[in-house]
Amino acid sequence: MITAKARAVDGPDKPFRSAEIKRRDLDSYDVLIEIKYAGICHSDIHTAHGEWGPVNYPLVPGHEIAGIVTEVGSKVTKYRVGDRVGVGCMVDSCGECENCRKGEEQYCLKGNVPTYAGVDKYGEPTQGGYSTHIVVTENFVVKIPDNIELDVAAPLLCAGITTYSPLNRWGAGPDKKVAVVGMGGLGHMAIKIAHAMGAEVTVLSQTLKKKDDGLQFGADHYYATSEPETFEKLAGHFDLIINTVSAAIDMDAYFALLNLDGTLVNVGAPGEPLSLNVMSLIGHRRSFAGSMIGGIRETQEMLDFCAKHNIVPKIEVISADQIDEAYKRVLASDVKYRFVIDISTM
**pLDDT tens digits, 161-194:** 999 999 999 999 999 999 999 999 999 999 999 9
CB of 49 closer than 8 Å to CB of 12? yes
- Per-residue pLDDT, averaged over 86-111, amounts to 97
CA distances from 106 to 103, 112, 161, 295 (A): 9, 6, 11, 6
Average pLDDT, the chain: 96
- Report yes or no on whether pTM surpasses 0.85: yes
CA distances from 71 to 63, 68, 87 (A): 20, 9, 15
d(Cα 152, Cα 61) in Å, to the nearest integer?
18
Predicted confidence band of residue 1 (pLDDT cuts 50, 70, 90): confident
pLDDT higher than threshold 80 for residue 82: yes
pLDDT higher than threshold 80 for residue 270: no
d(Cα 341, Cα 160) in Å, to the nearest integer?
17
pLDDT in tens, 22-54: 999 999 999 999 999 999 998 999 999 998 889
- Per-residue pLDDT, averaged over 210-236, amounts to 96
Predicted confidence band of residue 248 (pLDDT cuts 50, 70, 90): confident
d(Cα 63, Cα 91) in Å, to the nearest integer?
9
- Per-residue pLDDT, averaged over 251-261, amounts to 96
pLDDT of residue 144: 98
How many CA atoms, within 13 angstroms, populate the side-chain half-sphere of residue 102? 9
pLDDT of residue 272: 78
d(Cα 102, Cα 125) in Å, to the nearest integer?
27
d(Cα 94, Cα 71) in Å, to the nearest integer?
24
What ranges in the chain are assigned the alpha helix state H?
Answer: 42-48, 98-101, 150-153, 159-169, 185-197, 211-217, 228-233, 251-255, 279-282, 296-308, 323-331
pLDDT of residue 246: 80
pLDDT higher than threshold 90 for residue 271: no
pLDDT higher than threshold 90 for residue 264: yes
pLDDT of residue 266: 95
Question: What percentage of the chain carries pLDDT values higher than 70?
Answer: 100
d(Cα 85, Cα 104) in Å, to the nearest integer?
20
Q: What are phi and psi of 279, to 5 degrees?
A: -60, -25
CA distances from 52 to 43, 80, 319 (A): 9, 37, 27
pLDDT in tens, 121-132: 999 999 999 999
